[in-house]
Amino acid sequence: MKKIFFLLTVQLIVFNSFAQNIDRSSNGKIIKTIKPKIPAKGAFYTGNYRNMFAEAGYDKVSIANKLEKIWQQLFYGDSINQRIYYQVGADEAYIYDTGNKDVRSEGMSYGMMICVQMDKQQEFNKIWKWAKMHMQHQSGSAKGYFAWQMNRDGTIMDPGVASDGEEYIVTALFLAANRWGNGNGIYNYSKEANEILELTMNKDKGNNKPITNLFEVDKKQITFVPTEVGRVFTDPSYHLPAFYELWSRWATKNSSFWKHCAPTSRKMFHKFANNKTGLMPDYANYDGSPKNIGGHGDFRFDAWRCIMNMAVDYAWFKKSGNELAQIRKIHSFFIREGIKNYGNQYTLDGTKLDTPHSAGLVACNAVGALASKDKSAWLFVDDFFNTPIPTGQYRYYDGLLYFMSYLHLSGNFKVYNPN
């Protein structure tokens, strides 16, 4: 009898603890009643990556099943409305921008990152080989860089460079080396990552005009495009301080430089952001002011990713309270706009420019919950979890951000350290 009483007491304590986190209305809807609790140390140091969906009250089996569904749909779904991954021959594959009808270094880099996080080495190798064999410049002043825009047949559409592609490719290669070990040739992942960093940061030596370094050395900031024209400003969504922290530990050269780039980016987020809304522009000058080229001084598609970049950096390393404050400001703005119907483009001061409630922005905003102490963060997690996996012609960008955000929020986007 005492044993039964003890078990009932334990069950009641567990139930009451859980009940403090969630409640249910008369129609069964989950209602969060407490604030998210940010761990005392960053996930990089503890190895504990939060499952925000589980913290929000969703069943872990359902969470895992949905992750598998995302993988199957975006990588192996029907070729007309679902997949973005297309295999070529026996050992190559590309990520297809179904809206613009091209292959981009951005998409290839995201595809590689998704594969290493999903423990899909076969698909990772196929995407990497296509990028290496077709996209990467093997000679000339742009040697080491990747052409940002390709045709599906592997021919170059535009030989220019989009700096964020290199950032994700390098980090995905380092993580692949740490998770799976290095192989031979192009599958010596860490060697390839180091070569990309070394080649793209040595363009100031010798005559490589108009190609320049990936980062502005004196500013310690990523360039918008590493050319004489594109180097004079940046893209706030290209700022990835969490990645620079990893490079400072794993790269064979310039570790001190990468170590300084991380805090620089953390400080810049505040300078990029509108003081009222927290929104950041697509393009910005190195002092943080908007760069008004073709409307990109506004909050548009690139800028969606800024909140994800800040949240992940804070969740992993917890080094900047500035990121926490900016995320709170952005969340507050979108709550005022309406959690279910905010638009996807705005002026920095909050005037709506377009109305779609885009899955990619919904996903990135939800990642902000990783660095939030406010109950309102659960609204963004719920909105994302209940948003369908993107399909149709414009599934590429929305789908990739959706996939990476789901990995982050389910505790499946992790740092794999050497050994």
Catalytic residues: 106, 302
Cα–Cα distance for residue pair 240/44, rounded to 1 Å? 15
Type of residue at 105: S
Q: Residues 236, 323: contact at Cβ < 8 Å?
A: no
Q: How far apart are CA 253 and CA 197, in angstroms?
A: 8
Token digits for 57?
């009250």
Tokens 């380092």 identify what position?
A: 174
C-alpha distances in angstroms, 194 versus 61, 185, 188, 216? Answer: 39, 14, 10, 18
Residues forming a β-bridge with 22: 32
Rg for the chain (alpha carbons), in Å? 22
DSSP 128-176: HHHIIIIIB--SSTTTT-B-SEE-TTS-EEE----HHHHHHHHHHHHHH
Q: How many CA atoms lie within 13 A of 215 on its CB side?
A: 24
Kindly state the helix (H) or strand (E) to which residue 30 belongs, with its residue range.
strand 30-32
Instruction: Take residue 386 and report the two structure tokens written for it.
Output: 């209940």
DSSP for 170-211?
HHHHHHHHHHH---SGGG-HHHHHHHHHHHHT-TTSSS-TTB
> What amino acid occupies position 205?
K
Query: 364 has which bridge partners?
Result: none
Is there a contact between 337 and 343 (Cβ–Cβ < 8 Å)?
yes
Report the largest interatomic distance among the alpha carbons of the chain, rounded to a whole angstrom: 86
Please name which of 245, 334, 326 lies closest in space to residue 278, comparing C-alpha atoms: 326
